Amino acid sequence: MERVLAGSTLETIHETGKLLFGKAVNKKLLNDNPTTNAYIIKDNVKIINEEEEDKKDKKEIMGLPKFLELEELAHFLDIVREKGLYMDDLFFNTLSYTGMRVGELVALKWRDIDFEKHTISINKTYYNPKNNTTKYVLVQPKTIKSKREITVDPELIELFKSHKQNQDKIISHLGESYFNRDFIFTNLNRHPGYPVLIKFVEIRMARLIKFSGLNSELTPHSLRHTHTSLLAQAGVEEDEIMDRLGHQDDETTKKVYLHVTNHRRKNASTKFSNLLRGFRK
């Protein structure tokens, strides 16, 4: 069972850590103090980006959530490749091929990618309600299920490798001005090295959706629904989809799943009827 520490205990650990790292910097054992921007999230700060996205899901419950059909996703990713800006290809292929939340995406660090096993570990999410690039917080996912390891396509791993090579060159060029905390998706302008805002990904997608001619209401979270839909279309069982998405019980996921599987069942019935008719007098 997960142990929850008292607030006073957390404060003591937090302050002790700051003191120790501060002394390490003074003694020149470290270049900078990794706890400088760290702080404890108070009990009243519980709404994280996962929950905001879940609220969007609930608004869609009355109607079918927005997602792309297979041909539409292929078209969108073609547009991303043709018209995308720096990191767009990796942004939207990762969201499409994993179904992860945008908050989980921008929180990814290189240590979360296993290039040999072709897996991505999701163990944190990004919290930044005021959209202040330097004031972000990484928080634990809201459920045990949200922590997961996803196996991905080798082509996606190659995209990560290519991005790593480009990023290493940027880090080498910028030197100490680069806030190097192992993040994969980072700013390059005012605050190089800091993780990009969720809003940044949303703006990038809106730009590409215009080029694609697809539904202008589609968002990065729509790619999560799309992933659900295509997994169901491929015949993946509902519980496996839930595991991949990090859900214990999600009404929207079930709605997308049932929509697709019911459509497949109807097609199966039609195909059987047509087959039988061909042999009847």
pLDDT, tens digit (0-9, with 9 covering 90-100), for 139-191: 987 677 889 999 999 999 999 999 999 999 999 999 999 999 999 999 998 89
Residue 231 vs residues 22, 87, 97, 107, 224: alpha-carbon distances, Å: 49, 25, 10, 24, 11
Q: In whole angstroms, what is the distance from residue 17 CA to residue 11 CA?
A: 10
- Residue 266 pLDDT grade (very low, low, confident, very high; cuts 50, 70, 90): low
- Tell me which of 49-53, 84-88, 206-210, 227-231 is least confident: 49-53
Per-residue confidence (pLDDT) for residue 2, from 0 to 100: 36
Helix 220-233 and helix 70-83, axial crossing angle in degrees, nearest 10: 140
Looking at residues 72-83, what average pLDDT do you find? Answer: 96
Nearest one of 58, 37, 57, 55 to 47, comparing CA atoms: 55
pLDDT, tens digit (0-9, with 9 covering 90-100), for 52-74: 555 554 444 445 568 888 899 99
Whether pLDDT at 128 is above 70: yes
Return mean pLDDT, the chain: 81
Query: Which range has highest mean pLDDT (12-26, 84-98, 224-238)?
Result: 84-98
What pTM did the predictor assign?
Answer: 0.73
Query: Which range has highest mean pLDDT (33-37, 119-123, 254-258)?
Result: 119-123
Per-residue confidence (pLDDT) for residue 3, from 0 to 100: 43
Looking at residues 194-209, what average pLDDT do you find? Answer: 97
Looking at residues 181-210, what average pLDDT do you find? Answer: 96
Looking at residues 84-111, what average pLDDT do you find? Answer: 96
Q: In whole angstroms, what is the distance from residue 64 CA to residue 74 CA?
A: 21
Per-residue confidence (pLDDT) for residue 25, from 0 to 100: 67
Nearest one of 60, 179, 194, 181 to 128, comparing CA atoms: 194
Per-residue confidence (pLDDT) for residue 230, from 0 to 100: 87
Per-residue confidence (pLDDT) for residue 39, from 0 to 100: 55
CB burial of 188-209 (b: ≥16 within 10 Å; e: otherwise) equals: eeebbbbbbbbebbeebbeebb
Per-residue confidence (pLDDT) for residue 4, from 0 to 100: 43
Per-residue confidence (pLDDT) for residue 273, from 0 to 100: 56
Residue % of the chain over a pLDDT of 70: 70
120 versus 144: the higher-pLDDT residue is: 120
Residue % of the chain over a pLDDT of 90: 52
Q: How is the chain classified by DSSP, letter by letter?
A: ------HHHHHHHHHHHHHHHHHHHHTTSSSS-TTTT--PPPTT----HHHHHHHHHHHHTTSPPP---HHHHHHHHHHHHHH--TTHHHHHHHHHHH---HHHHHT-BGGGEETTTTEEEE--EEE-TT--GGG-EEE--SSGGGSEEEE--HHHHHHHHHHHHHHHHHHHHHGGGS--S-BSSB--SSSTTSBPPHHHHHHHHHHHHHHHT--TT--HHHHHHHHHHHHHHTT--HHHHHHHHT-SS-HHHHHHHHHHHHHHHHHHHHHHHHHHHTT--
- Residue 263 pLDDT grade (very low, low, confident, very high; cuts 50, 70, 90): low
Residues 6+ apart with CB under 8 A from 124: 104, 107, 138, 139, 140, 141
Q: In whole angstroms, what is the distance from residue 134 CA to residue 34 CA?
A: 13
- Tell me which of 39-43, 63-67, 117-121, 186-190 is least confident: 39-43
pLDDT, tens digit (0-9, with 9 covering 90-100), for 236-255: 888 888 889 887 666 767 77
